């Protein structure tokens, strides 16, 4: 069986509307086509479009599915009978007269649906559900979804409010030595976004108990642990051993032993204050027991094993006590953190409640709570009566709270006697290998757990089930896929990607198409050669970073390939044939771009234009500010020195320095002294006379047109009397 035929068979099996399925779809294997095919086959099998719910991960994915679905349905309306029959047979659908007629009607049925097909993101679904049942969710019917800017401002205000309170002073003192302001701000945002309501509502002792249980910590006396740490049980034996090494050991041993003897001579309070000295005697900088290798020498050869055994025992004791002290320290830091973050979370939640706003996380949490709440069981009843088939996209990145929603929706799909009569199904597609670990709370463990739960429920209800897979790639050629399979074939790379006992294999749909994979060695920095002492170099000794070296290598490779033919296109390669993918927009992007431009190679797709930062746009915004509030001297000065105002810096300084009032007043008072001042005054008056009557677009169009010779309309405005400055 060829790869294309294999892919078609996999897609047909998974899109069968009579069964439920979980499908693992590798990248580029036709996942969106599979979802679209299943939607089409469900509707052709008689399912009303409004009884299908498809939850995707992003708005772009939802839009793509709608576009594909509408395009297919639109084509079916106008296709000749035989071509439509062939299209349905390609979907493994019996193309009888009734099915052909239904295929032609589906486009109109979908268009007539209020809001179209229910293909939406999980957040959009939650928002629509909460809008439908606001009272059951204990929400204001007029709630809004907070944008990122408003949410960030509210969180910042809540954080500053809590930090300024006297109750937070002790916690701040603990945290000040552990975390900086920026890291704390980032941490507070993540905490508020992911914190459970029950956790925020818990009392401080309850939160401390939960934290203690999570860390496996016990109530211990720190002072008692410190006293034990600086009080070795076999202190006299250890002192004798140190004396032996200090007097008869090697130089390295003597250097090690004398600080230990000095420390043992200290009283207990000073030992506690300098406890890191004793820790350094017993442990290495890596926190492991010292081996004392090479410390004793020939003179202590007979005593070496005894000395090593004594300090090995002491090192293990010190290590255990240090770990317990670190755990106490970690517990205190986290308690201090929660003492601040919990009030911040409560204040942020109160601000959202007051503004009747929900974050995206709140949409998920509120919907999950609504569907699970026994008091709102009729909400599930209403949903169950309206949804017969549930399709889930990108399930490898579905968070547990989102799985709770899917489970609640499909709870009655396979329950009771009606499950054997109704034709309801759940379909999920995703690939654990592509999971964005922990993104938005995603948990790969829930993938297998929910797949197993749905499989069991479907099979117990006597319905069909498929653990499917799409393994044929339509995106890459054979060399790329072979390398991918080889990388994950063995060793550490396959862990967490390939299940035990399985092997990663990608089928190739692009048979016979060229491809090549070249693995380059890592680029290393080139250090400048050290100059000999007292010698003037004839040439400058330059250094090259690893980033610059890689950029030069990439540019050289592209320059070389531009002189070679491109077999797939039967022509020479062009700059547009190359795509450089980077992990992030860091220094490598600028370095590669500079190298390519230096070699005269066209490069595109680097710069992201920030519109307000462009000089022309900034000048027009300054003009708008000046028109709205002429008394704003800064905005008016920006307008005057722009090409719109026409003044030079020197001319502006002569007008502005020593003026008794506003800059606008100075321009009006002294306009007759210079031609450019008179021109700027007339130009501003003309626009200001129309500011209350024209749209912003029309006004700015007039402003730009005036630069090209002052059209008659603008000249007419200049002759009209200006409004009073006051």
CA gap 121, 123 in Å, rounded: 5
For residue range 573-620, list pLDDT tens digits in order.
999 889 888 887 778 888 898 899 999 998 886 656 677 778 888 888
| Spatial contact of 29 and 429, defined as CB atoms under 8 Å apart | no
For residue range 116-169, list pLDDT tens digits in order.
788 999 889 999 989 988 888 888 888 988 877 788 888 888 888 888 888 888
Query: Across 38-42, 216-220, 565-569, 695-699, which has the greatest mean pLDDT?
Result: 38-42
Same topology, domains 3-126+363-475 and 611-719? Answer is no
In terms of Cα–Cα distance, which of 59, 16, 12, 10 is closest to 389?
16
Q: Which fold has domain 3-126+363-475?
A: Rossmann fold (3.40.50)
Residues 335-360 have a mean pLDDT of 86
The dihedral sign for the CA sequence 312, 316, 318, 323:
positive
Q: Which fold has domain 611-719?
A: PCRA; domain 4 (1.10.486)
For residue range 75-112, list pLDDT tens digits in order.
999 999 999 999 999 999 998 999 999 999 999 999 88
Residues 281-301 have a mean pLDDT of 86
Domain ranges of the chain: 3-126+363-475, 144-355, 520-529+540-608, 611-719
For residue range 490-516, list pLDDT tens digits in order.
877 777 677 777 788 888 888 878 788
Whether residue 322 is predicted with pLDDT greater than 50 in this model: the reply is yes
For residue range 408-464, list pLDDT tens digits in order.
888 778 765 444 455 789 999 988 777 666 555 666 677 778 888 888 888 888 888
Rg, the chain, Cα only = 37
| Spatial contact of 506 and 484, defined as CB atoms under 8 Å apart | yes
Mean pLDDT rounded to a whole number for the chain: 83
User: How many Cβ atoms from other residues are within 10 Å of residue 324's Cβ?
Assistant: 17
Note if the pTM is more than 0.75. no
Between 129 and 401, name the one with better pLDDT: 129
For residue range 293-312, list pLDDT tens digits in order.
888 888 888 888 888 888 89
Residues 314-319 have a mean pLDDT of 91
Of the chain, the end-to-end C-alpha distance in Å amounts to: 85
């Amino acid at each position: 069986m060829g790869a294309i035929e294999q892919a078609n068979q996999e897609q047909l099996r998974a899109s069968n509307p009579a069964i439920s399925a979980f499908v693992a779809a590798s990248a580029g294997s036709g996942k969106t086509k599979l979802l679209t095919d299943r939607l089409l086959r469900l509707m052709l099998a008689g399912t009303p479009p409004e009884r299908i719910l498809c939850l995707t991960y992003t708005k772009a994915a939802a839009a793509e599915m709608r576009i594909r679905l509408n395009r297919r349905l639109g084509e079916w309306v106008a296709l000749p009978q035989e071509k439509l029959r062939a299209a349905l047979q390609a979907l493994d659908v019996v193309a009888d007269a009734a099915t052909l007629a239904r295929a032609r009607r589906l486009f109109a049925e979908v268009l007539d649906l209020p809001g179209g097909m229910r293909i939406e993101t999980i957040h959009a679904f939650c928002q629509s559900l909460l809008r439908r049942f606001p009272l059951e969710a204990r929400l204001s019917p007029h709630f809004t979804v907070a944008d990122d800017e408003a949410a960030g401002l509210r969180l910042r205000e809540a954080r500053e409010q809590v930090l300024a309170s006297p109750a937070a002073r002790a916690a701040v003192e603990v945290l000040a030595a552990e975390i900086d302001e920026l890291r704390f701000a980032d941490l507070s945002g993540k905490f508020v976004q992911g914190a459970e309501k029950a956790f925020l509502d818990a009392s401080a002792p309850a939160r401390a108990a939960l934290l203690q249980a999570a860390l496996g910590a016990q109530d211990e006396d720190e002072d008692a642990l410190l006293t034990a740490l600086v009080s070795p049980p076999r202190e006299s034996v250890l002192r004798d051993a140190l004396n032996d090494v200090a007097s008869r050991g090697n130089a390295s041993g003597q250097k090690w032993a004398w600080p230990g003897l000095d420390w043992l001579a200290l009283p207990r309070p000073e030992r506690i204050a300098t406890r890191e000295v004793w820790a350094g005697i017993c442990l290495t900088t890596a926190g492991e027991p010292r081996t004392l290798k090479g410390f004793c020498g020939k003179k202590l050869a007979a005593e070496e094993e005894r000395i090593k055994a004594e300090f090995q025992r002491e090192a293990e004791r010190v290590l255990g006590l240090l770990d317990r002290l670190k755990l106490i320290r970690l517990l205190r830091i986290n308690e201090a953190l929660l003492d601040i973050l919990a009030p911040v979370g409560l204040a942020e939640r109160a601000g959202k409640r007051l503004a009747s706003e929900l974050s995206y996380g709140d949409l998920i949490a509120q919907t999950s709570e609504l569907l699970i709440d026994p008091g709102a069981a009729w909400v599930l009843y209403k949903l169950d009566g309206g949804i017969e088939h549930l399709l889930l996209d990108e399930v490898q990145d579905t968070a547990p709270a989102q799985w709770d929603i899917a489970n609640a929706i499909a709870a009655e799909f396979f329950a009771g006697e009606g499950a054997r009569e109704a034709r309801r199904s759940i379909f999920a597609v995703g690939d654990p290998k592509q999971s964005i670990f922990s993104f938005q709370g995603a948990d790969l463990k829930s993938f297998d757990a929910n797949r197993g739960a749905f499989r069991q429920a479907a099979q117990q209800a006597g319905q069909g089930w498929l653990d499917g897979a799409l393994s044929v790639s339509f995106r890459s050629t054979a060399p790329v896929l072979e390398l991918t399979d080889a990388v994950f074939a063995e060793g550490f790379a396959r862990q967490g990607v390939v299940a035990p006992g399985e092997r990663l294999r990608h089928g190739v749909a692009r048979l016979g198409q060229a491809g090549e994979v070249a693995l380059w060695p890592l680029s290393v920095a080139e250090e400048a050669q050290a100059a000999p002492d007292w010698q003037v170099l004839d040439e400058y000794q330059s250094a090259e970073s690893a980033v610059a070296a890689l950029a030069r290598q990439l540019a050289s490779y592209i320059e070389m390939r531009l002189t070679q033919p491109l077999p797939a296109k039967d022509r020479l390669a062009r700059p547009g044939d190359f795509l450089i993918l980077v992990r992030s927009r860091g220094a490598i992007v600028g370095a590669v771009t500079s190298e390519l431009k230096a070699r005269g190679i066209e490069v595109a797709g680097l710069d992201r234009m920030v519109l307000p930062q462009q000089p022309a746009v900034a000048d027009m915004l300054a003009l708008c500010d000046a028109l709205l509030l002429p008394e704003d001297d800064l905005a008016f000065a920006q307008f005057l020195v722009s090409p719109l105002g026409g003044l030079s810096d020197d001319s502006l300084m002569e007008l502005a320095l020593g003026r008794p009032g506003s800059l606008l007043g100075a321009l009006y008072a002294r306009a007759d002294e210079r031609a450019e001042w008179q021109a700027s005054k007339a130009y501003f008056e003309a626009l200001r006379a129309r500011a209350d009557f024209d749209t912003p677009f029309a006004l700015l169009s007039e402003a730009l047109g005036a630069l090209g010779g002052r059209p008659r309309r603008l000249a007419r405005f200049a002759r009209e009397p200006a409004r009073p400055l006051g």
